[in-house]
Amino acid sequence: MRLIISLVEEAMKSGPNRKYTEEFRAAAVEQVIVGRRGLREVARSLEMSDKTLANWVGNARKGTALVKRAPRPPVTDLEAENARLKQENARLRMEKEILKNHPKGRAPARRTETLEVPLH
């Protein structure tokens, strides 16, 4: 019973584009296969699509993974520093271009937003 309550709480955390953890998927599938509850009943109790749960149950019965891709390894301190420096470098290049193309004698207005640079 405690498992069901924690599953419902996790399902209610997010909106329609929510991400399900591997533990959540496994527990939901277990309710259908081991608990012998109906697929629609479990999906409704977890407030999720019965089609999504059907895909998970089908994958479990075939023996394939419930999660399509492996989780990303955690970012190391070096990778985080590299990303921060890339963002700073892009910001400085942009400021340099603004100053180079701006008429002399007037300082341009400084932008306060940050520029996001993808890591990959």
Q: What string of pLDDT tens digits covers the 120 residues of the chain?
A: 455 555 555 544 555 667 888 889 899 999 999 988 899 999 999 989 999 999 999 999 988 877 766 667 778 889 889 989 999 999 998 888 888 887 776 665 666 566 566 665
**Hunting for tokens 């190391």 — which residue is that?**
76
Does residue 112 lie within any of the structural domains? yes
Q: Which helix (H) or strand (E) holds 30?
A: helix 22-33
Residue 101: which domain range? 75-120
Same domain, 35 and 85: no
Does residue 70 lie within any of the structural domains? no
**Of 39, 62, 85, which marks where a domain is finished?**
62
Q: DSSP for 55-93?
A: HHHHHHHHT--SSSSPPPPPPPHHHHHHHHHHHHHHHHH
Same domain, 92 and 40: no
**Of 62, 84, 110, which marks where a domain is finished?**
62
Same domain, 83 and 117: yes
